[in-house]
């Protein structure tokens, strides 16, 4: 981690709740927050029935299965943005479920595109800070 934060991994839910309830550590004040990126997972489903379903209806239907956020994959043709039947779902657990109850859709792991430098389009430059141009 870039800051002076401390990352603690627990083995059970009991350990997690006891760590989250801690207020001091060695007589120093302590702020405990779960790390969202390590406590969530993302997957992709493809279902033609969801193409014309509203965003609020999709989120409401999947919320009882642990979905906290979703995004529709879109295509750009000329100047038009075309929605597709593919949805990226974010779950509130680190383990990705294999299926979702709505239509028994299989969930594939979401693999994002690699980050690339805006200036040179190389992948290795993303760790460097951008140079100031005068």
Strand duo 80-91 + 99-100: pairing: unpaired
Q: What is the mean pLDDT of each run of 10 residues along the chain (134 residues)?
A: 75 85 85 83 90 86 88 92 91 87 84 78 58 48
**What DSSP assignment string belongs to 98-130?**
SEETGGGEE-EEP-PPPP--TTT--SGGGGSPP
- CA dihedral (76, 81, 84, 87) in degrees, to 10, reads 100
> What is the pLDDT, as a whole number, of residue 82?
92
Cα separation, 28 vs 26, in Å, equals: 5
Cα separation, 68 vs 49, in Å, equals: 20
Q: What is the CA radius of gyration of the chain?
A: 20
- CA dihedral (110, 111, 117, 122) in degrees, to 10, reads -160
């Amino acid at each position: 981690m870039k800051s002076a934060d401390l990352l603690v991994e627990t083995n059970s839910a009991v350990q997690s709740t006891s760590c989250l309830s801690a207020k001091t550590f060695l007589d120093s004040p302590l702020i405990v927050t779960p790390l969202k990126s390590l406590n969530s997972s993302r997957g992709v489903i493809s279902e033609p029935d969801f193409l014309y379903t509203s965003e609020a209806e999709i989120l409401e239907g999947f919320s009882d299965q642990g979905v906290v956020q979703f995004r529709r994959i879109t295509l750009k043709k000329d100047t038009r943005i075309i929605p597709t039947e593919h949805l990226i779902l974010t779950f509130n657990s680190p383990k990705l479920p294999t299926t979702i109850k709505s239509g028994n859709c299989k969930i594939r792991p979401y693999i994002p595109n690699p980050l690339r430098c805006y200036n040179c389009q190389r992948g290795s430059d993303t760790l460097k800070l951008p140079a100031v141009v005068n």
